[in-house]
Structure 1
Amino acid sequence: MMTKHEAIIQYIESLDVGTKISVRQIAKDLEVSEGTAYRAIKEAEVQGLVSSIERVGTVRIERKRKENFERLTFAELLKIVDGQVLGGRNGLHKSLNKFFIGAMQLDAMLRYIEPGSLLIVGNRYQAHKLALQHGTAVLITGGFDTSDEVKQLADQLSLPIISCGYDTFTVASMINRAIYDQLIKKEIMTVEDILVPSEQVTTLRPTQTVEDWQKLVQESKHIRFPVIDEENRLVGIVTSRDMVGAQIDTPIHRVMTKQPITITPQTSVASASHVMLWEGIEMLPIVDSNKVMLGIVTRQDLLKAQQFIQRQPQKGETFVNLIMSGFEEEESDGCICFKGKVTPQMTNPYGNLSIGICTTLLTEAARRYLRYAKRCDMVPEDVFIYFIKPIQIDATIHICTNILEMSRKFAKLEVVIKNDGKIMGKAILTAQLLQR
């Protein structure tokens, strides 16, 4: 039987994109308490079904798909440029597909104007009007305003027209930076991408009995089940270990493990794997801020995700990628090493390799060595670094990794950084292994 919480979520999903949502209205329409409606709306926000927009309220939005994550909504753009809405406030939930700068005549501008785009321009009223008439939103730079006619047109078409105090070049750079950051986030797989949703998970109620658990084991061939209350909140987990010595009529709430370890949808796959390995568990429930269960993830799900991550194409460069981009792989004395040059960006104010960059180099060299040589990844636990001599700017360095100890789950590594054959620093690193 569907709970009130699930019914509200289903109702929100059925609403048209752009529909305004309020706690009081949902409570009235579905005949539930305002507290129940509020918790359901918050979960819908976590799931990407609604968004709270300043001075507008909570609005039903289109759930972002992972492959289109680099697209921005106009509401997100509003926050990025610290702007104000002059008109078309009801269209802030829409996504922009591309943007272009209107530094051209109106006739030439027509080639670039298309629905779902954004025109970045100054105080050119005719350009504002032309863009709106062709389904394009407008971002006015320099803090300028627009005419009342344009504002009314924006409201009629639900196309945002936004004004900000930055110049055109700065605004374009800020938007590019935001898109680039989201491309990097797109690569970082989270449990949200692989979770088994709650509606597909077999669960138990606290009032059910051990006999009910036994029936579920026979039907599903699983031994671990989340325990949820009427509001779909996670209250415990039961496994075969909890059932040892229990009578068949014993209520689940007496034998279940209370306050189980949980994660959020935004937890990375690597972090979830570390928790699962460290705690020695086979299943992790995924909950929102109100402890409402959104789904589960198992050890098998995480292992498959780790393998998929390695096959993902590179879309953006993180700080570590930028540092390691100047290093090439080579073989020395039978082991894999990395060779590169100390660039000005990697130094401290005294012209030597900075401690933070050196730590990053040593750790990342160990990680890449394990990936190439042992086909596994790692989660560092302890790193002991010994800085012997300073490394100057423009110095060519070699970073080599040796395995001191290694088991199925753990490894102890020695990473040495050299310059002109002399040892400049050394790290002893202990890590948990994640098989690929």
Structure 2
Amino acid sequence: MIRSLRWKFIWLAMLSLLGTMTVLCVSIGVGNHWITTRRVDRAISLLHQNGGTFLPPGVTFDPSDFEFQVTPETAFETRYFIVELTEQREVKAVDLEHIAAFDRHSVTETISKVIQTGGSRGYVDYYRFGLFPSEDGGSTMIVMDCFLMLQAADNMLRITVIIFCVCALIVFLLLLFFSGRAIRPFAENLERQRQFVTDASHELKTPLSILSADLDLLSDSCGESRWLGSARTQIARLDKLIRNLVELARTEETIREGASEVFSLSDIALASAEVFAPLAEAEGNTLAAEVAAGVELRGVQDDLFRLFSILLDNAVKYCDAGGTIRLSVSQRGRTVRLSVSNPCAGLNPAQLPRYFDRFYRADSSRSRTTGGYGIGLSTARAIVARHRGRLTNHYANGIITFTALLTQVNEKRGNTSGSRGFL
């Protein structure tokens, strides 16, 4: 459990970091591209306003223009060409003085691509264009080479992504190193709680044994009475409760290395069904089992026996009269699905998540009749979690179903095909 909690802490921290850094990287990339496009559009607008040049004779640059600052060197650094179009979008004049990468043929192809976009501004490859209407009904097209600026924006994004990956790796290593210290207080408190339950159970067993012996002596000397019978019943209930608490504390512990083994879950399911079938029939119900053959798991075999016992015992106790309890064990890939269902009318679906809480009983009067303490399902969930699985419940059409999903081991023994079952 502590190991699982530690990894949950690491992954939650990493997901928070990755989400934040991803938003940051996307913001930097999109923002940088937007700034680049805005500067180019400003440059194209200046060229159109100044008749195809950045600095007309006698005009000095304005250093307060933050979008695109024009200097005496701007005309030599910026590559562009200008095309005059007629009203029918035919080429009337082409100015290639400020660019060397284009000839008449490549200019014609670029003009066709620009016209096909249907917009007044946009990109064609790594060229940015602006289309402005002319007084004679035609239009002026200014196309600027943005390769260096777009490449700078892409390089900035790449550097940001690389820094992001390096930072994520560093944070992951730091979390891996310090997470043990972060959850150490919780682990110590949990261990103290388990130790307290174990110690308290041993301390309580002694007075209970003494009380039970005293009741036997009183019975021999004074004879049986309903008060002595009631006292014996309460002592038995306390003894059972203590054993359940000890079992719950034990099942919440991580499986120690060497304590697990490979066993047949199919055999355990069938053996459990054979035990509880007569109990179900005694209550006027039926137990139907459908178990796939050859399903194996690695874990603690006694824990899985206990899991089946808890789920089947719960189903027998709370099944509606004349109902059918269904036990199913199936496999899909490496995932083993174990489910127990029974009809139980009148349940409140809003209470289903609380069924796994300790000492929670949806119907306390019925639980007293059946002898329940509200610990069984907590123990079942702890057993499944101990084997790195997940136990859930579902209620629909008057039938409640408890489903455990477990991961099968890689090694195989025997035949995994076919199924066995009985009614």
TM class by shorter chain equals under 0.3
More strand by share: 1
TM-score by length of 1: 0.17
More helix by share: 2
- What's the TM-score, normalizing by structure 2? 0.18
Report which structure shows greater RCO (CA 8 Å, sep ≥6): 2
